[in-house]
Amino acid sequence: MARRRQAVTIKHVAADAGVSLQTVSRVINNEPNVRPEMKARVQASIDKLGYVPSIAAQRMSGSRSYLILALNDRDRTISDWRERQGADWVDQMLLGGMLKCAEHGYRLIFELVDTHSDHIERELTAAIAALQPDGVILTPPHSDNEQITTLLKSREIPFARISPSNGGEGIALNMDDAGAAAMATEKLARLGHKRIGFISGPDEYSVSGWRTEGWHRAMDTLGLPTDGLFAQGDFSFDSGRKAAEALLSSGDRPTAIIASNDQMSLATLEVAREKGLSIPDDLSLVSFDNTPIVRFTHPQLTAVDQPISDVTARAVELLIAAARDNEWPDQPAVVPCSLVERESTAPPR
């Protein structure tokens, strides 16, 4: 039987370069107090031996863990996974976070936490004790959970809040949801639509209010009515059906609808067809999120594309700067959305 090749460790690099383990660690961690000639010698040994730094080696400097912890909502994430309905929030978050972490020699650890749990502090305390992260990324609704933010602040752990509803502590990032909703509304108005309906998400999520605000603001600016054109869901398919049913059963129904996520958009598409309405001839439809599933509907859905990957990558950059240099942005970081036009929007008949 062939013998397994022995893995190259930091000790091998130190021996080959003739330096201490701490010196190799400082080179790996790109610490400033290493002479250029020493850094070149260590790097030559790393290249020659094919050494890949481990988290343990990076931690030898003692100042950082080189781990970023991302928290997502447990119930909604598990529900999306089990239903397998095409939601890719987590995929995009991991894509942006992992790639950006890798650029800086970090690792991204993903955890699910129930924001409504009575034991949330205990859960989070256990995770922090085990991982000792250099920073934490909070996604909605964790972004507004004061128990979480207070705990992280007391531990002096930098944290980034994606789409928080208020200023508060930590590093704030958003995707200009209000601007995105206004952009979608204005696009439909340019096509000639005057009765533009809107299906919002639940109040628990700050993005729901921002998107509703953007729609209201655009409709007011355009001088268009909003009475009877608003319905609220909870981001689920079933709630989208109820909201679409309410909007499309009225005597003066909308000629276009913006739904606040892809699941509710799919439900609206289904209800419209049940009522004999053609998309986009009888009803234009714009979705939010732009998950993969909207490209496989018939017709393909026009959608606001949320730059989740870019936002998470930016959160990682800001957290690393906060942990390393104690640099905190003065204002929320904004990564704007875009509108991807497909086949579900057209001028009204």
Is 53 in the same domain as 103? no
Residue 349, domain member (yes or no): no
Is 187 in the same domain as 296? yes
Nearest-angstrom CA–CA distance, 101 and 12: 26
Question: 74-83 and 89-103 helices cross at what angle (nearest 10)?
Answer: 110
Domain end residue (candidates: 38, 59, 80) = 59
Is 76 in the same domain as 40? no
Is 302 in the same domain as 236? yes
pLDDT of res. 4: 43
Is 88 in the same domain as 25? no
Is 236 in the same domain as 299? yes
Residue 1, domain member (yes or no): no
Is 199 in the same domain as 219? yes
Nearest-angstrom CA–CA distance, 124 and 111: 9
Residue 342, domain member (yes or no): no
pLDDT of res. 291: 87
Helix segments in 156-261, DSSP class H:
177-190, 206-222, 237-248
Is 22 in the same domain as 140? no
Whether the Cβ atoms of residue 134 and residue 158 lie closer than 8 Å to each other: yes
Residue 344, domain member (yes or no): no
For residue 252, give the CATH number of its domain. 3.40.50.2300
* Element spanning 113, H or E: strand 107-113
Is 171 in the same domain as 181? no
pLDDT of res. 51: 80
How many structural domains is the chain composed of?
Answer: 3
pTM: 0.74
Residue-number span of the structural domain to which 32 is assigned? 10-59
Q: What does each of the 349 residues of the chain score in pLDDT, given as a tens digit?
A: 444 445 778 888 889 989 888 788 778 766 667 888 888 888 898 888 888 766 555 555 556 788 999 998 888 888 878 877 667 888 899 999 999 998 888 899 998 888 777 788 888 888 888 888 999 999 988 888 888 999 999 988 999 999 888 777 899 999 999 999 999 999 999 999 999 999 999 988 888 999 999 999 999 999 999 999 999 999 999 999 999 999 999 889 999 999 999 999 999 999 999 999 999 999 999 999 898 888 889 999 999 998 999 999 999 999 998 887 777 787 888 998 999 999 999 999 8
